[in-house]
Structure 1
């Protein structure tokens, strides 16, 4: 597994180089210094969550830990007005976040484009999703 991965923010035009061993993050407002992108990230004041491609398939990075995304996990997304709760039971991951202001912002865009947790919850049992995140 590469120690440093290039990832892009799922909601806004922002990019990050993440060192998976140290947790060091470097943020950029353009992608000129990136050879490739390995995945996507979500961040708010409390959370930094990443899904990225690896030779073993999709991996998740959360709170300085790397987890394997698998089809047998129990993943849920609960919608409560403008707040959502994303949960992966087996990894004890629970992220509460506000609905993105970018949902519905672009008439050509759908919810999957801007909500990484929705995308994961809807797609994690799909073989095509695993192919997309396998190097």
Structure 2
């Protein structure tokens, strides 16, 4: 899932972390190379991924321009512990105190997905994958006609 937020919304990152997303990141439309790499990682992540994509509104917001963002955004350091939920939350909320906007992967863990937890889905035995026994189907139809 990808979402785009306006400047006043800093909560998508924190909300995603506490809601159980296993990949939470933020990218900026002014840095396409980084944006593309984050989107690729999110798509390849096995689990629920959220990417908050920040982009200035060039029509209605004359304060939070590309220049404003370029002076405040920074990349999350490589040594950031992506598996620590509390550290990710602290980084999500630093914007309010320091007006610094972190870009990158805040939180990432590998956990069993919904399909992994259900053997019928995991092993390809879901009802949707089964071929119907036409003899039983015809008998069922005859009972109701």
Same fold (TM over 0.5): no
Q: What TM-score do you get using the length of structure 1 for normalisation?
A: 0.27
Of structures 1 and 2, the one scoring higher in RCO (CA 8 A, sep 6+) is: 2
Richer in strand (by share)? 1
Query: Rg: which structure is higher?
Result: 2
Q: Which has the higher helix share?
A: 2
